[in-house]
Amino acid sequence: MGLFDKLTDKIFKETQKAVDGILKPTNKPAQSTSAGAIQTPVQTAAPVQTATVSTDAERIYDEDGHYEFNDTFNRDTAYFRDIIQRNFTDCVIEEGVSISRFDANAHPKCTPVTFLLTKGTKTVAFFVMKLNQTNGMPYVGAKRVLRAAGIPSTHCISNYKNEEAYVVNRIRAIL
């Protein structure tokens, strides 16, 4: 066994003793020496601090100021359909449009366009996505096909608040 192996083995054993002392404290009897009784201190685990989280449904931050996901809002497609129909009356609105309409060779698993809005000669795609689905091949592949066809697109995550003004502004920014 080399010097490095001996050193790492010794460090591992000392660390294991410390962890065992924290997890399973032992109450050893007092050790006696010629000077008198000395008690062995028992190590106790530090108290665990839990993050205080706001219960505000709009945003939740942990104590470090990082945003935490709040699954309070679970918007369905009907919510977005209502917003689009009220605010884009001058557009032709199609729902559930297949990506193969823009590229016959598109992968069959590409995410279909939730809403396709056409105003005059300008066409935009709007996706309603679930959380953690915006980085996968189906969505990324659909975006590539739309980009190649010259159609701008945007999306909203259905688990977030998505107030009406926010959704309308996202669509108008690309329309």
Q: What domains sit in the chain, N to C, each tagged with a CATH number?
A: 77-174 (3.40.1350)
Say whether pLDDT at 9 is over 80. Answer: no
Instruction: Name the β-bridge partners of 94.
Output: 116
* Digit-coded pLDDT (tens) for 14-65: 877 776 777 665 555 555 455 555 555 555 555 544 444 434 444 454 555 5
State the greatest distance between any 2 C-alpha atoms of the chain, in Å, as a whole number: 99
The closest alpha carbon to 136, from 111, 108, 153, belongs to: 111
Q: Pick the range with the lowest mean pLDDT from 66-75, 105-114, 139-148, 165-174.
A: 66-75
Angle at 18 between CA 13 and CA 24, to 5 degrees: 115
Residue, of 131 and 29, whose pLDDT is higher:
131
Mean pLDDT along residues 102-131: 93
Arithmetic mean of pLDDT over the chain: 78
Angle at 88 between CA 113 and CA 144, to 5 degrees: 25
The answer for residues whose C-beta is within 8 angstroms of residue 56's C-beta and 6 or more apart is none
Residue, of 110 and 69, whose pLDDT is higher:
110
